[in-house]
Structure 1
Amino acid sequence: MKKLLIALWLLSAMTVALAQPKLVEQINRKGETLIIPYQKYILSNGLTVILTEDHSDPIAHIDVTYHVGSARETLGKSGFAHFFEHMMFEGSDHVKSGLHFKTVNASGGTLNGTTNQDRTNYFETVPSNQLEKMLWLESDRMGFLLDAVTQQKFEIQRSTVKNERGQSFDNKPYGTALEALLGALYPYGYPYSWQPIGFVEDLDRVDVNDLKRFFLRWYGPNNATLTIGGDINVKQTLAWVEKYFGSIPRGPEVKPAVPLKPVVSSDRYISYTDNYARLPLMFIGYPGVKMNDKDQAALDALAMIIGKGYNSLLYKNFIKTRKAAEATMFSYNLELAGFIGIEVVPFPGQTLADMHQMVQETLAEFEKRGVTDEDLARFKGSAEADFINTLESISGKVSFLAESQTFTGNPNQIGRQLADIRKVNKEDIMRVYRQYLKGSGAVILSILPKTGEVKPVAPNNFTPDKSNYAAPDYGYQGLTYRKPKDKFNRAVQPLAGSNPSIKMPAIWKSNTENGVNIIGSYNNEVPEVSLSVSIRGGGLLAANNTSKAGLPNIVAQMLNDDTESMTAEEISGKLAKLGSNIVVTAGNDETVMSISSLTKNIDQTLAIAEQRLLRPKFTQETLDRIKKQVIQNLMVSKAQPANVANTVFNKLIYGSDNIRTYGLVGTEQTITNITLTDVQDYYTKYFAPGVCSVVVVGELTKSAAINKLVFLKHWKNKHIEIPVPPAPTAKPESKTIYIVDVPKAAQSEIRVGYYTGIKYDATGLFYKLGLTNYALGGGFDSRLNIDLREEKGWTYGASSNFSSGKLGGFYVASAGVRAATTDSAAFEFLKIIGHYAQDGITPSELQFTKSSIGQSDARKYETNMQKAAFLSRIQNYNLSAGFVDKQNMILKNLTKSEVDALAREYLDPDKMTVLIVGDKAGFLPVLQKSGYKIIELDSEGRQK
Structure 2
Amino acid sequence: MKMKNIILGTAFALTSVFAFGQVDRSKAPVPGPAPEINIPEPIVFDLDNGMKVILSPNDKIPKVSFNLVMGSDPRLEGKKAGLSDMAGDLLMSGTTKRSKDDIDNETDFIGAYLSANSSGMYLSVLTKHMEKGLDLMTDVMKNANFPESEFERIKKQYESGLYSVKTDPSSMISNAMNKAIFSSNHPYGEVMTEATLNNIKRQDVIDFYKQQYTPAGSYLVIVGDINEAQAKKIANERFGEWEGGVPFEKDYNKGISPKGNRVIFVEKPGAVQSVISVAFPIDMIPGDENQIKLSTLNKLFGGGGFGTRLMQNLREDKAYTYGAYSSLDVDRKGSYISAEGSFRNEVSDSAIIQFLYEFNRITEEMVTAEELTLNKASMAGSFARTLESPRTIANFALNTYRNELPSDYYQTYLQKLSKVSEDDIMKMATAYITPNNLNIIVVGNKDVLESLKQFDADGNIEIFDAFGDPKVENTLKPADISKKEVFENYLMAVTQTSKMKKANKKISKVKSMKRDAVVVPNQAPMELKMTTYFMAPNKMASKMEFNGMVLQEEKFDGSKGVTKMMNQQGGFDTVELTEEEIADKNKTASIFPEYSLLCHEEDFELLGIESRDGVDMYVIKYTIGKTTTTTHYNKETSLKAYSETLEVTEEGPQSIVSIYSQFTDYKGFLFPTKTSQVVESVGMTATIKEIEFNGKVDEKMFEVE
Q: TM-score under structure 1 normalisation?
A: 0.45
Q: For 1:929 and 1:814, how far apart are their aligned partners in 2? A: 19
Unaligned runs of 5+ in 2: 14-20, 472-705
Match of 2:92 in 1: 560
Deviation at 1:690, TM superposition (A): 0.5
Matches within 5 A, 1:419-818: 502-537=37-72, 540-541=74-75, 543=76, 545-586=77-118, 591-656=119-184, 658-662=186-190, 666-709=192-235, 710-725=237-252, 728=255, 732=258, 734-761=260-287, 763-780=288-305, 781-818=307-344
Identity of aligned residues (%): 25
Q: For 1:752 and 1:526, how far apart are their aligned partners in 2? A: 45
Amino acid at match of 2:250: P
Q: Tell me, yes or no, if the aligned pair for 1:751 and 1:914 is still in contact at 8 Å.
A: yes
Q: Tell me, yes or no, if the aligned pair for 2:92 and 2:140 is still in contact at 8 Å.
A: yes
CA gap 1:578/1:927 in 2 versus in 1, 3 angstroms: same
Deviation at 1:614, TM superposition (A): 0.9
Say which SS state the counterpart of residue 436 (structure 2) adopts. helix
Amino acid at match of 2:181: I
Q: Tell me, yes or no, if the aligned pair for 1:519 and 1:875 is still in contact at 8 Å.
A: no
Deviation at 1:910, TM superposition (A): 0.4
Deviation at 1:903, TM superposition (A): 0.7
Q: TM-score under structure 2 normalisation?
A: 0.60
More helix per residue: 1
Q: For 2:369 and 2:376, how far apart are their aligned partners in 1? A: 11
Q: For 1:693 and 1:798, how far apart are their aligned partners in 2? A: 37
Say which SS state the counterpart of residue 884 (structure 1) adopts. coil
CA gap 1:868/1:797 in 2 versus in 1, 3 angstroms: farther
CA gap 1:498/1:528 in 2 versus in 1, 3 angstroms: farther
Match of 2:584 in 1: none
Q: For 1:499 and 1:734, how far apart are their aligned partners in 2? A: 42
Say which SS state the counterpart of residue 117 (structure 2) adopts. strand
CA gap 1:835/1:532 in 2 versus in 1, 3 angstroms: same
Q: Deviations over 1:659-678 (max 9, x none)?
A: 3212xx63222222122222
Amino acid at match of 1:582: L
Match of 1:465 in 2: none
Amino acid at match of 1:624: E
Q: Tell me, yes or no, if the aligned pair for 1:760 and 1:808 is still in contact at 8 Å.
A: no
Deviation at 1:786, TM superposition (A): 1.9
Q: Tell me, yes or no, if the aligned pair for 1:506 and 1:522 is still in contact at 8 Å.
A: no
CA gap 1:838/1:622 in 2 versus in 1, 3 angstroms: same
Q: For 2:456 and 2:85, how far apart are their aligned partners in 1? A: 43
CA gap 1:750/1:242 in 2 versus in 1, 3 angstroms: farther
CA gap 1:537/1:746 in 2 versus in 1, 3 angstroms: farther
Question: Does residue 918 in structure 1 map to residue 450 in structure 2?
Answer: no
Say which SS state the counterpart of residue 532 (structure 1) adopts. strand
Q: Deviations over 1:887-927 (max 9, x none)?
A: 33332333322321221121221011111111232x33433
Say which SS state the counterpart of residue 411 (structure 2) adopts. helix
Say which SS state the counterpart of residue 597 (structure 1) adopts. strand
Q: For 1:864 and 1:855, how far apart are their aligned partners in 2? A: 17
Deviation at 1:582, TM superposition (A): 0.8
CA gap 1:767/1:686 in 2 versus in 1, 3 angstroms: same
Match of 1:374 in 2: none
Amino acid at match of 1:714: E
Q: Deviations over 1:647-686 (max 9, x none)?
A: 1011112224543212xx6322222212222222222233
Question: Does residue 831 in structure 1 map to residue 363 in structure 2?
Answer: no
Q: For 1:793 and 1:526, how far apart are their aligned partners in 2? A: 47
Amino acid at match of 2:42: I
Q: For 1:605 and 1:650, how far apart are their aligned partners in 2? A: 37
Say which SS state the counterpart of residue 873 (structure 1) adopts. helix
Matches within 5 A, 1:193-208: none
Say which SS state the counterpart of residue 326 (structure 2) adopts. strand
Q: For 1:734 and 1:547, how far apart are their aligned partners in 2? A: 31
Deviation at 1:837, TM superposition (A): 0.7
Q: For 1:646 and 1:243, how far apart are their aligned partners in 2? A: 54
Q: For 2:36 and 2:423, how far apart are their aligned partners in 1? A: 31
CA gap 1:234/1:537 in 2 versus in 1, 3 angstroms: farther
Amino acid at match of 2:54: I
Match of 1:908 in 2: 434
Say which SS state the counterpart of residue 334 (structure 2) adopts. coil
Q: Deviations over 1:470-524 (max 9, x none)?
A: xxxxxxxxxxxxxxxxxx9799599899988754244111111111101021112
Amino acid at match of 1:608: L
Deviation at 1:610, TM superposition (A): 0.8
Matches within 5 A, 1:927-942: 927-928=452-453, 933-935=459-461, 936-942=463-469
Say which SS state the counterpart of residue 885 (structure 1) adopts. coil
Say which SS state the counterpart of residue 424 (structure 2) adopts. helix
CA gap 1:512/1:909 in 2 versus in 1, 3 angstroms: same
Q: Deviations over 1:736-790 (max 9, x none)?
A: 42222212224221111212232222x5133332223222122312211222223
Q: For 1:777 and 1:615, how far apart are their aligned partners in 2? A: 46
Q: Tell me, yes or no, if the aligned pair for 1:800 and 1:813 is still in contact at 8 Å.
A: yes
Matched residues, number = 459
CA gap 1:577/1:930 in 2 versus in 1, 3 angstroms: closer
Q: For 2:169 and 2:9, how far apart are their aligned partners in 1? A: 48
More strand per residue: 2
Say which SS state the counterpart of residue 559 (structure 1) adopts. helix
Question: Does residue 886 in structure 1 map to residue 421 in structure 2?
Answer: no
Unaligned runs of 5+ in 1: 1-38, 40-232, 245-487
Say which SS state the counterpart of residue 392 (structure 2) adopts. helix
Deviation at 1:851, TM superposition (A): 2.9
Question: Does residue 896 in structure 1 map to residue 422 in structure 2?
Answer: yes
Say which SS state the counterpart of residue 897 (structure 1) adopts. helix
Q: Deviations over 1:852-882 (max 9, x none)?
A: 3334432112234434433332232133441
Matches within 5 A, 1:123-272: 235-237=4-6
Please identify the structure whose Cα radius of gyration is greater.
Answer: 2
Q: Post-superposition, which runs of at least 4 consecutive aligned residues in structure 1 deviate over 4 A?
A: 233-244, 488-503, 928-932
